[in-house]
Amino acid sequence: MATEVLPLHLGVKNLVDSGLDKLPGIYIRSKEERPNAVHREESFPVLDLGAALNSSEARAALVPQIREACVQWGFFQVINHGVPHSLVDEMQSVAREFHALPNEEKMRYFSTDTESRMRYGTSFNVTQDKVFSWRDYLRHSCLPLAEMQELWPEKPASYREVTADYSTRVRNLAKFLLELISESLDLPKDYIDKAFNGCSQVMALNFYPACPEPDLVLGIGPHSDPGSITLLLQDHVEGLQVMHGHEWYSVKPIPYSFVVNLGDQIQILSNDKYKSAQHRAVVNSSEDRMSIPVAMGPNWESLVHPVTKLVEGSPVFKPMVYKDYITALQAGGLNRQWLLDTLRI
């Protein structure tokens, strides 16, 4: 039976464009959940990959920096990463063009099926969310590439071509970063790739319209990512916040950089040595914000468990097939901490 499409299902942009005079109550967070004082952190890790892409010596020198960033933050930014600036510009352009399409065109892809490989939606899951997030999104798988391209939006006209090129380049960058993370755990560089039996890849186009009362809402609530690593492309508008030492820190956008964060599967594989950090998105009253996360994960059928070499005594986590992990998350909503806790031994 098809899900009834209600007015709020049409998205935040539709709500704003229709002339918002009062914030609907379903978007208003409790006082405890609302955005609070945020600390800028000048020492947020920024790693320059330029030399490491072409030099084994520079690559070896980067591994300790990766290790420190993973231990201290679970997040870092990368610059000079090899993805062409022109392609980044094109990806951001087609993403904005998609969100600017008429509602009738975007709603062709609307679905509340969290297992769908290509869907347009708002908030996180409108059939489950008790409080809505102030965002609209297009979310789709990228692999197998030729098969998935046929399911991607037909408009903008260049979307499929640009996204295919972009997702391939980012996937190659992710493989390089996972090699560095593997080496930072004193494992062979291809260990994670082999342990995960290759990869899965999902990307999203997140759109956060300007909000008349931004202090009452969140673009997306606190969460960690379920996969291996996520590579986030931000526009020029600040909005990403990372939990560090029980406080929220705002991540200032650097043009053409990617923000990289560890996912739950790296926390499991590392036997809790590396953490999948909590993060959220806030909004503002003056500018729309857009972000494009590319979420990498293990092959769906991979059994993920702590690396024996990293276990001192007993493993911290029980093994779980990645597909089953995702299914459990989709049943439980955005808060993933409960699932990691149930896997703890």
Pairing of strands 320-321, 247-250: unpaired
The CATH number of whichever domain residue 245 belongs to comes to: 2.60.120.330
SS3 assignment, position 144: coil
Q: Which strands make up the sheet holding 220-223, listed edge to edge?
A: 39-40, 247-250, 240-244, 279-281, 220-223
pLDDT at position 335 is 58
Number of domains in the chain: 1
60 domain residue, yes or no? yes
E strand or H helix at 217: none
Residue 40 burial (CB < 10 Å; 0-12/13-18/19+)?
A: exposed
Q: Could you tell me if 293 and 232 are in contact, meaning their C-beta atoms sit under 8 angstroms apart?
A: yes
Residues facing residue 122 across a β-bridge: 136
pLDDT along the chain (345 residues), means of 10: 60 92 92 82 87 96 98 97 98 98 96 92 88 96 97 98 98 98 98 97 98 96 95 97 91 96 97 95 97 98 97 94 90 68 88
137 domain residue, yes or no? yes
Global confidence as pTM: 0.95
Pairing of strands 247-250, 136-141: unpaired
20 domain residue, yes or no? no
19 domain residue, yes or no? no
pLDDT at position 146 is 97
5 domain residue, yes or no? no
Pairing of strands 75-79, 46-48: parallel
56 domain residue, yes or no? yes
Find the radius of gyration of the CA atoms of the chain.
20
267 domain residue, yes or no? yes
What is the four-CA torsion angle of 327, 331, 335, 341, rounded to 10 degrees? -60
8 domain residue, yes or no? no
Q: Which domain holds residue 308?
A: 26-343
